[in-house]
Amino acid sequence: ITLGFHRLATHESFKCHPWVKAVALALGSAAAQGPVLTWVDNHRRHHIHADQPGDPHSPHADFGEGWRESLKGFLHAHIFWLYDDPAEDAGRYTKRLREDRTVAFIDRTFGLWVGLGLLIPGLIGGWRGFVWGGAIRMLLVNHATFAVNSVCHMFGSRRFETKDESRNNWAIALLTGGEGNHNNHHANAKAAYHGLTWREYDLTGYVIRALALLGLAW
% the chain with pLDDT above 90: 93
Condensed to tens digits (0 to 9), the pLDDT of residues 117-155 reads 999 999 999 999 999 999 999 999 999 999 999 999 999
Cβ atoms within 10 Å, residue 84: 10
What does the longest C-alpha to C-alpha distance in the chain come to? 52
* Closest among 140, 211, 145 to 176, alpha carbons compared: 145
Cβ atoms within 10 Å, residue 78: 19
pLDDT value at position 188?
97
Residue 1 pLDDT level (bands cut at 50, 70, 90): very high
pLDDT value at position 87?
86
pLDDT value at position 31?
97
pTM to 2 decimal places: 0.94
Rounded mean pLDDT, 58-84: 91
64: pLDDT strictly greater than 80: no
- Look over the chain and give the mean of its residue pLDDT values, rounded to a whole number: 96
Condensed to tens digits (0 to 9), the pLDDT of residues 97-115 reads 999 999 999 999 999 999 9
pLDDT value at position 65?
80
3-state secondary structure of 181: strand
What is the rounded distance in angstroms from the CA atom of residue 111 to the CA atom of residue 117? 10
What is the rounded distance in angstroms from the CA atom of residue 196 to the CA atom of residue 186? 13
Residue 67 pLDDT level (bands cut at 50, 70, 90): confident
Rounded mean pLDDT, 78-105: 94
pLDDT value at position 4?
98
Q: Is the separation of the CB atoms in 63 and 72 below 8 Å?
A: yes
What is the rounded distance in angstroms from the CA atom of residue 123 to the CA atom of residue 193? 36
62: pLDDT strictly greater than 90: no
DSSP-derived secondary structure for 19-62: HHHHHHHHHHHTT-S--HHHHHHHHHHHHHTTTSTT-TT-SSTT
63: pLDDT strictly greater than 90: no
What is the rounded distance in angstroms from the CA atom of residue 36 to the CA atom of residue 21? 12
Higher pLDDT, 86 or 207: 207
Condensed to tens digits (0 to 9), the pLDDT of residues 152-206 reads 999 999 999 999 999 999 999 999 999 999 999 999 999 999 999 999 999 999 9
